[in-house]
A and B are shown apart, each in its own frame.
Chain A
Amino acid sequence: MGVIELDRLEVQLGGRTVLNGLTGELRGHAIGLLGPNGAGKSTLINTLLGFHEPAAGRARILEMDVHFERMRIRQSVGYMPENDSFIGNMSGVRFVRYMAELSGLPANEALERAHEALFFVGLGEVRYRKVSTYSLGMKQLIKLAQALAHGPRLLILDEPTNGLDPMARQRMIQLIKDIRRQGGTRLLISSHLLRDIDETCDEVLILNKGRIAAISNIEEERRSHRNFIELEMAGSTEGFAAKMRSLGCECACFPGGRVKLVMPDVLSARDLYVAATEQGVQIRRIQQRRDSLEDIFLRAMEYEGGRVDHVSLPA
């Protein structure tokens, strides 16, 4: 079952066509939404939430049409917006409880679930203070808590690590991973930080200028490309590179003792070490350079015309 299905979706805002013929299907557990500024990511999220009406085409979330079954979708979706969005005059608990009740939970259950959600995100005594007194990190967490309280089937997170300091960012990523691991809730995460998306998502949708630039399954990408290796060495790399070339590798040396090579299948890391010992150099770092998200993204951006490109490899 596809989490998000797009069928020639077209959305116009203020006379401009912002989303132009999006077609594709996304099935991952955690879907990353990437794209340059102005590509239409916010518009897509708003359309999925039913805030904008499609000018043409259709979109479905969890098999529910985005325009005609808006209320049902909003029942099963939790949204964490990018900007500050809260009711300052209320305490944290009351705010989350209010949102849970709006999603249909009876009053008492809403209170219980609110506390559960606040416990899960890690807001302790702070929950009894007014939201307007919260720090930035706490405001992000309360937005997440209100999105979770009613147990949605899809969580839409817009820049969840925005403005968080490194520790808070790690905690947020860990929360997202925990939610994903639990399995009952799918995730759609929009972010500019490729590292965050790489850590949490298994599928990405890349938008550019209102069209789909790529749909890519990161997991599959990771399992392939095992033979690109990056090394960092101490000592002279020339002899080492020559030796590896003689064994059949493609090899390139860079300043700072860095070496990139492509190994044929017959060779393994041990051969690298043997060669290094022969040449009297030390290997300090070995990294399998998977076709990282950055490369997928940059490749997608090169397709300026916006052709749909399924960057997936044979299983």
Chain B
Amino acid sequence: MSVFLHEYQPYSGRTTALWSRPLVLARYGLQEAWSSKITIGLFVLSLLPCLVEMVMIYVADNPVARMLIVRGDSVLEINEKFFLSVLETQCWFALVLASWVAPRLLSFDLGDNALPILLSHPITRFGYLAGKFIAVFVMLSYVTWFPCLILFVYQSYASPQPWAMSHLGVAIGIFVGSIVWIVLLSLVGLAVSSWVKWRVIATGAIFAVVFVPAGVGGIAMAILRTKWGLLLNVPVVMTELWMRLLGVPPFGNPRLWLPTGAIITVLIAAGLMCIAVLNARIRAREVVRG
């Protein structure tokens, strides 16, 4: 028998690599996001359209089912347009999910002034944001390119003719289109959450940031009689981008078509603005001038 004295002891075990610390942040961020039932609900909701689309693919590729259900009408054809609408649906659901998840990641830290303690650990501001970014990115990936590509694979499997090779561009388009959207959405989500104090308002603000410029752009278009106002219209810009990535032939008024270069420039500018906001807001110490 002995009496054990528990005194404070320094740590002498192994430590993890410095670059992996943002992953710690990502892991905790994801756990935090998943701990809410609303997240789970939104997630399930976002995947429901995929189920519907899976059924549609099955029906389209299965002659017997086709006969029974659509009585032989060739209304349903699985091509780029189909996958464009799949991608669009998933990406707009991703917006809903992002507007819920991103505030949860940042507002708890900022609300209780955790940044001084957080940044006093071996993690830079960039590492901190990288960790949060990875968390949102992974979350949104689950509802965008991941299910879309699964549908693609299913279509390749279910299709009677060899379909995959000729439509490989579609797959790449889906992937790239999703990534571009997710990156932008993550940045916007994090930037708005760092700016706005309350979570609920941040959620609304993310929607506002995505849709309000469209109104402004519309006004600019009407007053200045130019098509460049459309560049502020996020739904239009993204749809154009996705159409070009997936190889869907353009439609509508040719005078309103936007050059690809302009689209890319606008997206990059938006991304840089978000990064600037994050740079200003994520600081260990406020400096009050004067």
Contacts of B287 in A (CB 8 A): 13-14
Cβ-neighbour of A178 out of B7, B108, B113 (below 8 A): B7
Q: Which of B7-53 contact A (CB under 8 A)?
A: 7-16, 18, 21, 24-25, 28, 32
Given known contacts A74-B122, A81-B117, A89-B32, is B16 in contact with A104 (CB within 8 Å)?
Answer: yes
Task: Please tell me if A36 contacts chain B, counting CB pairs below 8 Å.
Answer: no
Which residues from chain A contact B288 at a C-beta distance below 8 Å? 14
Give 24 CB contacts A-B under 8 Å.
Answer: A14-B290, A51-B119, A72-B122, A74-B123, A77-B120, A81-B116, A85-B113, A85-B114, A85-B115, A87-B114, A90-B108, A99-B117, A99-B121, A102-B24, A102-B25, A105-B15, A105-B16, A106-B13, A113-B11, A120-B7, A131-B112, A146-B117, A153-B10, A182-B7
B262 at the interface (CB under 8 A from A): no
**Given A99-B121, A104-B122, are A88 and B15 neighbors across the interface (CB < 8 Å)?**
no
Q: Do B15 and A75 have beta carbons less than 8 Å apart?
A: yes
List which A180-197 residues lie within 8 A (CB) of chain B.
182, 184-185
With an 8 A cutoff between CB atoms, is B77 at the interface? no
Interface, chain B (partner A; CB < 8 A): 6-16, 18, 21, 24-25, 28, 32, 108-109, 111-124, 284-285, 287-290
Contact A89 B108 (CB under 8 A): yes
Q: Which residue of B25, B112, B284, B289 is within 8 Å of A132 (Cβ)?
A: B112
In the assembly, what is the distance between CA of A184 and CA of B24, in Å?
Answer: 27
In angstroms, Cα B121 to Cα A74, docked, is 5
CB of A150 within 8 Å of the partner chain: yes
Residue from B8, B12, B109, B122 in contact with A102 in the complex, judged by beta carbons closer than 8 Å: B122
B111 and A101 contact, CB distance less than 8 A? no
Interface: A213 (CB within 8 A) = no
Binding site for B on A (CB under 8 A): 13-15, 46, 49, 51-52, 71-72, 74-75, 77, 79, 81, 83-90, 98-99, 101-106, 109, 113, 116, 119-120, 131-132, 143, 146, 148, 150-153, 178-179, 182, 184-185
**Chain A residue contacts of B115, Cβ below 8 A:** 85
Contact A46 B285 (CB under 8 A): yes
Looking at chain B's contact residues, the main secondary structure is: loop
A105 to B13, CA, bound (A): 8
Taking a contact as CB atoms closer than 8 A, the residue among A85, A105, A120, A184 that contacts B6 in the complex is: A120
Compute how far the CA of A98 lies from the CA of B27 in the bound complex, rounded to whole angstroms.
Answer: 10
A120 — which chain B residues lie within 8 A by C-beta? Answer: 6-8
Residues on A with C-beta less than 8 A from B120 are 49, 74, 77, 79, 81
Contacts of B18 in A (CB 8 A): 71, 104
Q: Are B11 and A51 in contact (CB under 8 A)?
A: no
Interchain CB contact under 8 A, B119 and A71: no
Q: Is the CB of B6 within 8 A of A104?
A: no
C-alpha gap A85/B199 in the complex (Å)? 19
Q: How far is the CA of A104 from the CA of B123 in the complex (A)?
A: 10
In the bound complex, what is the Cα–Cα distance between A83 and B112 (angstroms)?
A: 10
Out of B16, B114, B119, B289, name the residue touching A15 (CB < 8 Å): B289
Q: A71-B122, A101-B28 are in contact. List 7 more A-B contacts (CB 8 A).
A: A83-B116, A85-B114, A85-B115, A89-B32, A99-B118, A102-B21, A116-B6
Given A102-B25, A113-B11, A151-B12, residue A83 in contact with residue B121 (CB < 8 A): no
**In the complex, residue of chain B having the shortest beta-carbon distance to the beta carbon of A179:** B8
Report Cα–Cα, A184/B285, bound state, in Å: 30
The verdict on A84 contacting B112 (CB below 8 Å), with A79-B120, A151-B9, A151-B12 known, is yes
Given A71-B122, A103-B122, A106-B16: A151 touches B116 (CB 8 Å cut-off): no
